[in-house]
Amino acid sequence: MRHVEVRKARGVVAILGEGWERPAVVPEAEMEAIQKLVDARVPALLHPYLKEGRRVRIAAGPLAGVEGILVRVRSDKGLVVLSVDLLQRSVAVEVDCTHVVAA
């Protein structure tokens, strides 16, 4: 399908990429992962896209409201390690990744 035809499609709000004139290419592995998820018909919930090095905020639990830098995601345990500025020092804490959102 030509780029112009995609832009005119009903319901298109935006195209992934730097702008309308330069669409991004979605890697085949990501497309396959999405297709497997759709085909599996398993319940899926939206989750914030968290990237190492980004500023995040703890949204729940005893540290709710604390902000820091996402240092590492430990997918094997579902934990996030944060570097939190505290009295001009950093401390690393592990929190459940479901309690962390982008700041």
Query: Tell me, what CATH number does 66's domain have?
Result: 2.30.30.30
Closest CA to 52 of 23, 79, 21, 73: 73
Are 91 and 61 contained in the same domain?
yes
Q: Give the Cα separation of 75 and 94 in Å (integer).
A: 12
Query: Does residue 50 lie within any of the structural domains?
Result: no
Computed over every residue of the chain, the mean pLDDT equals 79
Q: What percent of the chain has pLDDT over 70?
A: 80
Assess whether 84 and 59 both reside in one domain. Answer: yes
d(CA 70, CA 50): 8
Residue 22, domain extent: 3-40
Mean pLDDT for the stretch of residues 11-21: 68
Residues 97 and 60 in one domain: yes
- Is there a single domain that holds both residue 35 and residue 62? no
Domain check: are 30 and 59 in the same one? Answer: no
Token representation of residue 93: 């804490």
pLDDT in the model for residue 100: 86
Report the 10 Å Cβ neighbour count for 68.
Answer: 24
Residue 26 has pLDDT above 60, yes or no: yes
In this structure, is residue 21 part of a structural domain?
Answer: yes
pLDDT digits (tens, 9 = 90+) for 39-89: 998 888 777 778 888 888 989 888 899 888 888 887 766 667 777 676 667
